[in-house]
Amino acid sequence: MRSASVNGPAVKRAREMAGLTQGELAATLGVDRSTVGHWESTRRPDEPSAPNFKRLCKVLRVKAADLLAVPSDKAA
């Protein structure tokens, strides 16, 4: 079984539901706006560091599981 990774579209949805722009979220987390864009990527999202992921969940008021995608074992 492979580990979970960030679900980019879920991060984007949660950010939009929180009423934040990428720039506002980035400023709150102390990262560059492009970093948030990479986290939201639909191709191959970058993984936030553990501390950033924890803060991301707190700022967006979501559970960690809401922002994770668990790949299927079929590709293994």
What confidence score (pLDDT) does residue 47 get? 87
Model pLDDT, residue 76? 46
Q: Using the predicted structure, report yes or no on whether residue 73 has a pLDDT greater than 60.
A: no
* Phi, psi (deg, nearest 5) at residue 68: -110, 150
Q: Backbone phi, then psi, for 6, in 5-degree steps?
A: -70, 135
Domains of the chain, start order: 5-68 (1.10.260.40)
Per residue in 29-45, pLDDT tens?
999 999 999 999 877 76
Least confident of 2-11, 25-34, 35-44, 52-61: 2-11
